[in-house]
Amino acid sequence: SYDLTQPPSVSVLPGQTATISCSGDNLADKYVAWYHQKPGQSPVLVIYVDVQRPSGIPARFSGSNSANTATLTITGTQNVDEGDYYCQAWDKTAGLFGGGTRLTVL
Amino acid sequence: QLVQSGAEVKKAGESLRISCEGFGDTFYNLWIGWVRQRPGKGLEWMGIIFPGDSDTRYSPSFEGQVKISVDKSISVAYLQWSSLKASDTAVYYCAKWEFWSYNSSGQFDSWGQGTRVTVSS
């Protein structure tokens, strides 16, 4: 079965750049989406098809996907960006999520 | 825009059906999916359904464990269990799935508020 691997946690200072990785075999052959979930809330889509931002998502969120790794980048991280981030892709006949990364803004 | 049914407390072995509704007249032409989140754990992609023809895709992990269905006459999607287990305790989200490329990529772009299911043994 196909797996998406994320680091359990990432820490960043306010105003700095946070990068969250998502790894899978030949992941660049797939499109990746990213979701942000705050405690007690439903997830929110922040990036889809590797690089697209949905309406209402700030421009500080960006994505890339190359070789075996997709990356979510938050430039000028703010306190409101804390929470869990999940990557998601499609494999054969179904979707799947990565294990999630807890982003802490120090 | 997706509204889910309320929290449930059940016993192991009981059956359950939870619901998700929204998007009015356009529901017929949308893919609706379900995501599980166990306490303190990550998101798990369960499956999606197209109300227009009930085409359903299950994650291999959930095939045969749950049933996803719709009643398109009232724009409601369902997730059901015939015999619950304690390990089914989780929050279940419904969400609108959008295929970017049909049957090869997509994402959930609108989420319900979640339904908490608690199963005691």
pLDDT tens, B74-110? 999 999 999 999 999 999 999 999 998 877 899 999 9
Separation of CA B102 from chain center: 20
pLDDT at B52 over 80: yes
DSSP state for residue A75 in the 8-state scheme = S
Q: Give the closest-approach CA distance of A61 to chain B in angstroms.
A: 16
Which position has the token pair 């995501």?
B35
What are the C-alpha distances in Å from B117 to residues A84, B7, B12, B17, B87?
22, 6, 12, 10, 10
Q: Do B108 and A88 touch (CB under 8 A)?
A: yes
Searching chain A, which residue's CA lies closest to the CA of residue B63? A94
Instruction: Answer whether A24's CB lies under 8 Å from A3's CB.
Output: yes
Which residues of chain A make contact with B106, given a CB cutoff of 8 A?
Answer: 31, 33, 90, 95
Two tokens, residue B64: 């045969």
Mutation site, A51, A90, A96, interface B, largest B CB count within 10 A:
A90
Nearest to A49 by CA among A31, A73, A27, A67: A31
Mean pLDDT, chain B, rounded, equals 95
Which position has the token pair 């999606």?
B48
Task: State the Cα–Cα distance between residues A56 and A96, nearest whole angstrom.
Answer: 25
Q: Give the closest-approach CA distance of B45 to chain A in angstroms.
A: 5
Which residues of chain A make contact with B7, given a CB cutoff of 8 A?
Answer: none
Q: Do B47 and A94 touch (CB under 8 A)?
A: yes
Separation of CA A88 from chain center: 8
Segment B30-38 shows an average pLDDT of: 97
Q: How many CA atoms are closer than 13 Å to the CA of B20, on its beta-carbon side?
A: 31
Q: Does B72 touch chain A (CB under 8 A)?
A: no
Widest distance between CA atoms in chain B: 42
**Cβ-Cβ contacts under 8 Å for B94 (sequence gap 6 or more):** B2, B4, B20, B32, B33, B34, B35, B77, B79, B111, B112
What are the C-alpha distances in Å from A68 to residues A21, B1, B16, B29?
10, 35, 40, 34
Q: For chain A, what percent of residues have pLDDT higher than 70?
A: 100
Residue B27 banded pLDDT, cuts 50, 70, 90: confident
Two tokens, residue B11: 């016993």
Which residues of chain A make contact with B101, given a CB cutoff of 8 A?
Answer: 31
Instruction: Answer whether B41's CB lies under 8 Å from B26's CB.
Output: no
Q: Does A69 touch chain B (CB under 8 A)?
A: no
Instruction: Answer whether B73's CB lies under 8 Å from B84's CB.
Output: no
pLDDT tens, A53-90? 999 999 999 999 999 999 999 999 999 999 999 999 99
Using CB atoms and an 8 Å cut-off, which of residues 22-41 of chain B contact chain A?
33, 35
Q: Where are the alpha helices (DSSP H) in A11-103?
A: none
pLDDT tens, A7-57? 999 999 999 999 999 999 999 999 999 999 999 999 999 999 999 999 999
Q: Does B65 touch chain A (CB under 8 A)?
A: no
Q: For chain B, what percent of residues have pLDDT higher than 90?
A: 84
Q: Does B47 touch chain A (CB under 8 A)?
A: yes
Which position has the token pair 């379900």?
B34
Which position has the token pair 């608690």?
B118
